Amino acid sequence: MSSGIIKCKITVIKRTIDQDLIDKYLDDQYRDHMKPCETFQDNQEFILEGDTAFSQPPTDFCAWAWADIRKDIMTVALGCEMPGMKHRGTVIAGCTDWFRPVIFKIERL
The predicted pLDDT at position 67 comes to 96
Contact 16, 54 (CB under 8 A): no
How deeply is 66 buried, as exposed, middle or buried, from its count of CB atoms within 10 A (0-12, 13-18, 19+)? Answer: middle
**Taking the model in full, what pTM does it have?**
0.90
Q: From CA 79, how far away is CA 16, in angstroms rounded?
A: 29
Per-residue confidence in pLDDT tens, the chain, 109 aa:
355 668 999 999 999 999 999 999 999 888 888 999 999 999 999 999 877 788 889 989 999 999 999 999 999 988 889 899 999 999 999 999 999 999 999 999 9
Helix (H, G, I), strand (E, B) or coil at 91: strand
pLDDT at 55: 85
Q: How many CA atoms lie within 13 A of 30 on its CB side?
A: 10
Per-residue pLDDT, 3:
57
Rounded alpha-carbon distances, angstroms, from residue 27 to 15, 36, 76, 96, 109 = 22, 17, 39, 19, 43
